[in-house]
Amino acid sequence: MTDLITASPDSPSVLARPRPRRRRSRGWRNALIGWSFILPNLIGFVAITLVPVLAMFALSFASWDGYNPPSWVGLKNFRRLFKDDASMTALWNTLYYAVGYVPLTMLAALGLALLLNRKMRGVAFFRAVAFFPYITSLVAVAIVWNMLFNPQFGPVNQFLGWFGVHGPGWTTSTTWAMPAVIVTSVWRDMGYYMILFLAGLQAIPKELYEAAEVDGTNAWQRFRAVTVPGLRPTSFLVLILLTVQAFKVFDLIYVMTQGGPGDATLVLAQQIYQTGIVDGQYGYASAISVLLFALVLVLTLIQFWFNGRRERK
């Protein structure tokens, strides 16, 4: 109080202190700069993601062909969904694909990461080779693997023939089409998740391995006691990403088998496309989308709950 009374307006302490009006203008300027950075992304999120998602929930309770005004039908679309054989087949095939794709991709990516985390000549080249399928054109991948799985001239069946095994029809067989698609998906995506596991492996302190070696542990014991706990955050992230990826698979299956033969590889994403875009039943397609959304949400919440429980132990 004494300083405020005795200090003159021209004293250095008063001149150095910013005036309230100047502080407010600086705050507005900082706020405008911040909004200029996030506003384009926010507008894009609202226009491309949030509004369509809200419209999907609303249309799931309506009947709409895209031309006439939508009409309210209540739960009719959902009752139809659980009585529709094609949608139930698509649901089963999606679960089948996820059960095969997620663990196989995790194991293949982790194996590649462990192999390429060592100091050896040309390791950067081999890492690039492992990552290359992920950036390759999806159409090219589907065509090449269709040629490999060709029942008569494909190298896969020729290789099996060397051991006296008669190879199946693969993509032309209702039994083997989905395993063929899963193998192709694993081959294409394992390089991307290998990069994530490599980052996780290189974040584990080397002192832990050195201490384990001093204790006389072998390689398997070090993997269980040091590598697996050290990779837990990375494994959790990879598991979440793979689960979401598995349930929204569409493009590879559409190019490779188009859901066939029959409905052997028909998945929920393709059923949504067929019902909504091709047949123009946007209300029913929205109901299938809500089912797909609920499945992914429930599985993700279970994974978060399970991971949190393990971390609390």
Start-to-end CA span in the chain (Å): 56
pTM of the model: 0.84
For residue 79, the model assigns a pLDDT of 93
DSSP-based three-state secondary structure for 221: helix
Task: Show the 3-state SS of 186-212.
Answer: HHHHHHHHHHHHHHHHHCCCHHHHHHH
Q: What is the pLDDT of residues 214-259, one digit of tens each?
A: 888 888 999 999 999 999 999 999 999 999 999 999 989 999 988 8
Instruction: Give the residue ranges of DSSP H helices in the chain.
Output: 2-6, 12-16, 20-45, 51-59, 76-81, 85-115, 123-135, 138-148, 155-162, 177-202, 206-214, 219-222, 228-230, 232-247, 251-256, 268-273, 282-312
Residue type, 79: R
When mean pLDDT is compared across 7-21, 235-249, 271-285, 293-307, the lowest value belongs to: 7-21
Q: What is the pLDDT of residues 130-147, one digit of tens each?
A: 999 999 888 899 989 989
In this structure, are residues 268 and 219 in contact, taking their beta carbons and an 8 Å threshold?
Answer: no
Q: 126 burial class (0-12, 13-18, 19+ CB within 10 angstroms)?
A: middle
